[in-house]
Chains A and B, each alone.
Chain A
Amino acid sequence: MQLINSKSINESANSPATKKASQSFKKIAPALAAASCSLLGITDAIAQEDNGEWKFDVATLIYAESDSRVIAAEPVFNATKTYTDGEVLNVKLVFDTLTGASPNGATPSNTAQTFTRPSGNGQYIVDPNESPLDDTFKDTRGALSGTWTAPIDRDWEYTVGAYGSKEYDYLSLGLNGGLKRYFNQKNTALNFGLAFSADTIEPEGGNPLGLARMATPGTASFDADYDASRADSSDNKTIIDAIFGVTQVINTKTIMQFNYGLSLSDGYLNDPFKVLSVIDSSLGPNYGGNYQDGGNNVYLYESRPDSRMKHTLFWQTKYALDNGDVIDGSYRFMLDDWGITSHTLDFRYRWQLGDSYLEPHLRYYMQSEADFYKRYLTSDEYTANSIKEASSDERLSDMSAYTIGLKYGYKLSKTKEFNVRAEYYMQSHSGDNGFGQLASQDLYPDSNAIIFQVGYSF
């Protein structure tokens, strides 16, 4: 199976250092692409049509949250071969490693809190008045995807693709396909895409039962309580996505796109690592403190609905200025049957400076909370057993977020580009501020993250 295109590989580089780096990339890149193709089962017949050009992108992203929370490193390898007949093969490999601490969903308290680790092995203690963070957040993920796009005739085009990703406790396998029809001298294109994904979640210790009580470390009945809080060792979810889109050329400098997306998720949609605090709502000295039963704080595993339907509207416009600069703006509206609505505005300005460019980026996001979002449960709700669905996951709360960033790119030649970007992401949440003792705690701390990426295309 020959995947190497001599023309794209033997192009001269600008400097000896670049040349050396470029050559070593070029030795590795086709081998990686070939390995990826065979993993994806892309046939030799396709690969042997060696009449196109390869393009490779390598990049590494670092995502680091403040206060020693999550740090992620994510290298990406992307290979695209464009054939002279118009077919395009794309293969992408992504790895990511996550370490750090993540909020476990419980509320801060004026006393120290002890939590069982999600696996059931051991415990962690959170100091008084500190946000409860689970510091064992650690994972490595590998993802491989491939797509094949080809024209059917002058007006029609199809895409087929496959996807697989694996992390320690999670497996996702997906298939997707799409059809595109051009009209009006290719000024208008209608797209239809469909994707299916089957995911399996298998957390160490099993999946917790929704609203089951977390077993208290150190108690005589710990093992029995832990087992009673667990359902099956693994569970599944399926996701079906459909997209209908129109792309329209407006004039020689403007292109616009509208998409409507429908997404249906079914199955186990909980986050098995999230809990809720139960807060004492009976009038007395512990009003607003952690509710205790049997002398221990009560924490419950979250429970979400087992299905979700999302509708998304997306609009994007790109406009080229006479001086070569490019304005890129987009807006997304999302609505789902969990009661969440969201708005996303994204704006980029590409400032062309000869062979290089600077691209400032602004993004604003806001969402309303899910119907079942609760920062905590009251002891009245807990003892009356009146709540069937609840999650304190901050990602389901009222939220607003801003991203501000800058990218710099430098063209080494027609096909080679080096780029680097740095962005700052700020997220703030709001909601019910509690009562009694709880009212003095910060239930919605802001979170900030730095995004840094270096990339090279050749």
Chain B
Amino acid sequence: MKFKYIARSTSCLAIALALSACSNIGIKPWERDTLSRPEMQLIHDAVEAGLDDHIYFSKEASSGGRSFGGGGCGCN
């Protein structure tokens, strides 16, 4: 019980600290012109990313990370 309380408090503190640390970095809304370019999106080409995920899922033991690792194919 005590452990759960400590774990919960520590997690809350960690999240709060991380968010406050994050609040010191970042930009103003009017400074987003570069980051709003299509090629600056984390997944710029979703079709290519999906095809690559399917190839590597079929040929290696790892999958996912960027998004769900899932199944959806009898190839592995």
| A positions within 8 Å CB-CB of B | 57, 59, 61, 63, 74, 76, 78, 90, 92, 94, 96, 98, 139, 141, 143, 163, 165, 167, 169-170, 172, 174, 176, 183-188, 193, 195, 197, 199, 201, 237, 239, 241, 243, 246-253, 255, 257, 259, 261, 263, 265, 271, 310, 312-314, 316, 318, 320, 326, 328, 330, 332, 334, 336, 338, 340, 342, 344, 350, 357, 365, 367, 370, 395-396, 399, 401, 407, 419, 421, 425, 427, 451, 453, 455
Residues of A within 8 A of B56 (CB): 365
CB-contacts of B53-76 with A (<8 A): 54-56, 59-62, 64-76
Asked whether B22 lies within 8 Å of A139 as measured between CB atoms, the reply is no
- SS class of chain B's interface: helix, strand, loop or mixed? loop
Known: A188-B23, A310-B62, A365-B60. 14 other contacts (CB 8 A): A63-B55, A78-B46, A78-B47, A143-B73, A187-B26, A239-B71, A248-B25, A250-B25, A252-B27, A252-B35, A344-B62, A395-B76, A399-B61, A453-B48
Give Cα A241–Cα B63 distance, bound, in whole angstroms: 11
| B positions within 8 Å CB-CB of A | 18-19, 22-23, 25-29, 31-32, 34-35, 37, 39-40, 42, 44-48, 50-51, 54-56, 59-62, 64-76
Asked whether A263 lies within 8 Å of B64 as measured between CB atoms, the reply is yes
Q: Name which of B19, B55, B64, B74 has the most chain A CB atoms within 10 A of its CB.
A: B74
10 A-B Cβ contacts within 8 A?
A143-B72, A163-B70, A174-B70, A188-B22, A193-B67, A251-B27, A312-B65, A326-B39, A332-B62, A427-B59
Asked whether B64 lies within 8 Å of A312 as measured between CB atoms, the reply is yes
Ordered nearest first, which 8 A-B pairs have the shortest CB separation? Answer: A187-B26, A170-B74, A314-B65, A332-B65, A241-B68, A334-B62, A172-B72, A342-B62
Asked whether A76 lies within 8 Å of B73 as measured between CB atoms, the reply is no
Asked whether B47 lies within 8 Å of A395 as measured between CB atoms, the reply is no
Residues of B within 8 A of A193 (CB): 67-68
Question: Shortest CB–CB separation between residue A413 and chain B, in angstroms?
Answer: 13
Q: Which residue of B lies closest to A256 (CB)?
A: B42
Q: Which residue of B lies closest to A261 (CB)?
A: B64
Residues of B within 8 A of A259 (CB): 65-66
- SS class of chain A's interface: helix, strand, loop or mixed? strand
Give Cα A57–Cα B46 distance, bound, in whole angstroms: 9
Asked whether B65 lies within 8 Å of A261 as measured between CB atoms, the reply is yes
Question: Shortest CB–CB separation between residue A428 and chain B, in angstroms?
Answer: 12
Asked whether A183 lies within 8 Å of B19 as measured between CB atoms, the reply is yes
Question: Shortest CB–CB separation between residue B31 and chain A, in angstroms?
Answer: 5
Asked whether B60 lies within 8 Å of A367 as measured between CB atoms, the reply is yes
With A249-B27, A312-B65 given, is the CB distance from A255 to B40 under 8 Å?
yes
Asked whether A241 lies within 8 Å of B74 as measured between CB atoms, the reply is no
Asked whether A185 lies within 8 Å of B28 as measured between CB atoms, the reply is yes
Asked whether B26 lies within 8 Å of A249 as measured between CB atoms, the reply is yes
Residue of B18, B42, B64, B74 near A318 (CB, 8 A) is: B42
Asked whether B51 lies within 8 Å of A453 as measured between CB atoms, the reply is yes
Asked whether B35 lies within 8 Å of A399 as measured between CB atoms, the reply is no
Residues of B within 8 A of A63 (CB): 55
Q: Which residue of B lies closest to A242 (CB)?
A: B68
Question: Shortest CB–CB separation between residue B30 and chain A, in angstroms?
Answer: 10
Residues of A within 8 A of B55 (CB): 63, 425, 451
With A59-B47, A320-B37 given, is the CB distance from A396 to B19 under 8 Å?
no
Asked whether B74 lies within 8 Å of A167 as measured between CB atoms, the reply is yes
Asked whether A183 lies within 8 Å of B39 as measured between CB atoms, the reply is no
Residues of A within 8 A of B40 (CB): 255, 318, 320, 326
Asked whether B69 lies within 8 Å of A261 as measured between CB atoms, the reply is yes
